[in-house]
Amino acid sequence: MPKGEGKVVAQNKKARHDYFIEETYETGIVLQGTEIKSIRNGRVNLKDSFARVQNGEVFLHNMHVSPYEQGNRYNHEPLRTRKLLLHKREINKLIGYTKETGYSLVPLKIYLKNGFAKVLLGLGKGKKKYDKREDLKHKEAKRDIERAFRDRQKE
C-alpha cells in the first residue's frame, strides 16, 4: 500500500497552501486510552498543529483530539503533546533538514491503516505571500478550464 492510503480521518488543507511539501513520511503515533476511539469517530483536528524534534524523538504539538463521549474519568487531555514513531535514520535526516532555516515539519493528514492511526508528516518549506498568490491564480485558471470543458460537453 503506498504512503498515505487508508481511511483518511482528518486532513490539514492549509499545509499545502502555506508550505512547499518536499518529502513525506508515514509515522505511527503514540496514543493514550480513549484517543483512538475519538480518532476513529473523526473527532480530530490538525489545524495549527506542527511537529518538532526533541532529544532525538519527534513530537506532535497542538493536534486536537476531542474527548471520547463515553470515556468518563479515563478521558485524555485534548491538546497534549504526542510522540510520533519514526526510524532513527529518518529522525536524523529530519534533524538535518529542520536545522536549515525555513523548513518545518507539518502533519498533512491522519488516517487509519490496518487498524492503526498513522500521521502523514510533510517536510515543508514556508511559502512567501507572492507564492501563495501564484498558487491561487493557477487554481482559478484550472477551475475556469474545467468549467469551459463542462459547458462545452453539455452543448
- Quote the pLDDT of residue 51: 92
Lowest model confidence (mean pLDDT) among 2-16, 28-42, 57-71, 88-102: 2-16
pLDDT (mean) for 118-128: 88
* Phi, psi torsion values for 115, nearest 5 degrees: 85, -5
What's the pTM? 0.77
Of the pLDDT bands very low, low, confident and very high (cuts 50, 70, 90), residue 1 is very low
Q: Which positions ≥6 away from 148 have C-beta within 8 Å?
A: none
DSSP the chain: --TT-SEEEEE-HHHHHHEEEEEEEEEEE---TTHHHHHHTT-EE-TT-EEEEETTEEEEES-EEPPPTT-GGG---TT--EEEE--HHHHHHHHHHHHSTTEEEEEEEEEEETTEEEEEEEEEEEPPHHHHHHHHHHHHHHHHHHHHHHHHHH-
d(CA 107, CA 13): 10
- Quote the pLDDT of residue 28: 93
pLDDT tens digits for range 39-80: 888 889 888 899 999 998 999 999 988 888 777 777 778 888
pLDDT (mean) for 112-133: 86
pLDDT tens digits for range 15-31: 888 888 888 999 999 98
Instruction: Indicate the average pLDDT of the chain.
Output: 86
- Was domain 7-128 assigned CATH 2.70.70.10? no
